[in-house]
Amino acid sequence: MEQLTDCSKSISANMTFSEISLDLLKGFAVTLQLFFVTLIFAIPLGIILTIIQKCKIKIVKVVIQTFIWVIRGTPLMLQVIAVYYGPAILFEAKMLPRLVAVLVAFIVNYACYFSEIFRGGFDSVSKGQYEAGLVLGMTRPQIFFKVILLQVVKNIVPPMSNEVITLVKDTSLARVIVVAEILKVAGDYTAKGLIWPLFYTAVYYLAFIGILTIIFKCLERKLDYFKV
């Protein structure tokens, strides 16, 4: 993974459009890696945090809620810096590889946001539906998977889609510790007097976010059940 942070090459104003596009594409590969790895780990971690928030042990619940409050209340950029430099400053330990530090910060940050979305999704389903399912003779697993979970998934898709799209753009914060995602690569060109690659990055972002938007729209249509 560390090799990905070194994908920028020496910059020349005489480079062709195709060469610059390929260079930006290499940077976008790092952006995609940040995006997908964060999602893969943040979603299950968010579910775990949601479950812990439902814990009846008050001290555990308060600790987790405080942790989520701190993470959601501080800038992601600051968290990236803290994860990268923190161990060396506090414990004189070796710093994590840059890409690993960014991923840790991103996963924890988005897990906290996803946790709140999941919690809100479960809270949106009235307790009366549990009781109604029991009256109808359904088992608790049947009530959860056939009634509750379906409504929760439908309710959380819109806010989840917003967070996922935000994650795409937040990957640009990795450049704060010199991880060569696409904006860092474009910024290297700008530093040499070639500014148009910086604006050209919008094409990559718009294309990917466009694909995600289509996927979420299709998913919302598939989940268009329980109509009133």
Domains of the chain from N-terminus onward: 17-222 (1.10.3720.10)
**pLDDT number for residue 226:** 57
- Specify the pLDDT at position 105: 97
Question: In angstroms, rounded to a whole number, what is the distance separating the alpha carbons of residues 46 and 146?
Answer: 22
User: In this predicted model, which residue has the larger pLDDT, 140 or 69?
Assistant: 69
Mean per-residue pLDDT, 10-20: 71
pLDDT value, residue 126: 82
At 186, which helix (H) or strand (E)?
Answer: helix 182-191
Q: Name, in order, each residue with C-beta under 8 angstroms of 187's C-beta and a sequence gap of 6 or more.
A: 175, 198
- Taking CA atoms, 61 is separated from 44, 58, 81, 131, in Å, by 18, 5, 27, 26
- pLDDT digit string (tens) for 22-46? 999 999 999 999 999 999 999 999 9
pLDDT for 225 beyond 70: no
- 111-134 tens-digit pLDDT: 999 999 999 988 888 878 777 888
Per residue in 156-210, pLDDT tens? 999 999 999 999 999 999 999 999 999 999 999 999 889 999 999 999 999 999 9
Contact 80, 34 (CB under 8 A): no
pLDDT band at 8, cuts 50/70/90?
very low
pLDDT at residue 9 in the model: 45
Q: What is the residue-wise DSSP string for 216-228?
A: HHHHHHHT--S--
The pLDDT of residue 6 is 45
Q: Which residue has the higher pLDDT, 210 or 146?
A: 210
Taking the C-alpha atoms of residue 53 and residue 56, their distance in angstroms, rounded to an integer, is 8
pLDDT at 163: 96
pLDDT at 5: 44
Q: How far apart are CA 203 and CA 211, in angstroms?
A: 12
Instruction: Name the band, by pLDDT with cuts 50, 70 and 90, for residue 227.
Output: low
